[in-house]
Amino acid sequence: MLRAALRCFEREGFHRTSMATVIEEAGVSAGTVYRYFPSKTDLIRACADEVSVSVAEVVEGFRGRETPPGPQEVVGRLLEAAFDVGRRYDVDLTRIVVSIWAEALRDPPLLESVRELYLDLRTAMADLARTWIAQAPPASASELPVDPDLVAQALFGAVPGYIVQHLLLGGMDVASYTRGLADLARFADPR
């Protein structure tokens, strides 16, 4: 049922997708769908939860490493996690994520779920930044004051930045985008 809902949401968006459309796509009885998802809002939240689980797994993987991944690897893994979920359900998950963002602005419980996920993600990124600062060579760490929370905000912004460009401009792949992030870091600090 979730696969059918995701396909419908990808094709039509949340507001144009009806429960009848999802039921037809799933090829099951209405009773079966309504037993698990009493409303379309429940389906939307289940889709958001599916994305959340994948992102949370990636974040936990960052926290469990002795040597943390660099910024471009962090962004790349998060984006690949979204594409992995999409491949599992045969949808472009980035289209659905944008719909989740929009729906979260109308649905306070969904907003709270998304907000909690994203705050956790930003906290993990700030923790990574603290590790990067601690592991930096003494000369470079002391030359410039670095605020790990600001680093996390900028790094977090790279993920939706990719999604927007992917959807509106096309022709992008994760590997090239993350290479661009690495090149940007070298350009900003040519050492």
Q: For residue range 33-85, list pLDDT tens digits in order.
A: 899 999 888 888 888 888 888 888 887 888 767 788 888 888 999 899 889 98
Confidence at residue 143, expressed as pLDDT on a 0 to 100 scale: 62
> Which pLDDT tens digit goes with each residue over 107-144?
898 899 889 888 988 998 898 888 888 887 776 555 66
Do 118 and 83 contact (CB within 8 A), yes or no?
no
Predicted structure pTM score:
0.82
Q: Write down the mean pLDDT value for the chain.
A: 87
Residue carrying structure tokens 């729906």: 103
Segment 95-101 mean pLDDT: 90
Segment 147-175 mean pLDDT: 93
Q: Which two tokens stand for residue 172?
A: 């992008």
Segment 20-28 mean pLDDT: 93
Q: pLDDT above 90 covers what percent of the chain? A: 42
Identify which of 181, 168, 165 has the alpha carbon closest to the alpha carbon of residue 71.
Answer: 181
Torsional class of 85: left (φ above 0), alpha (ψ -120 to 50), beta (otherwise): alpha
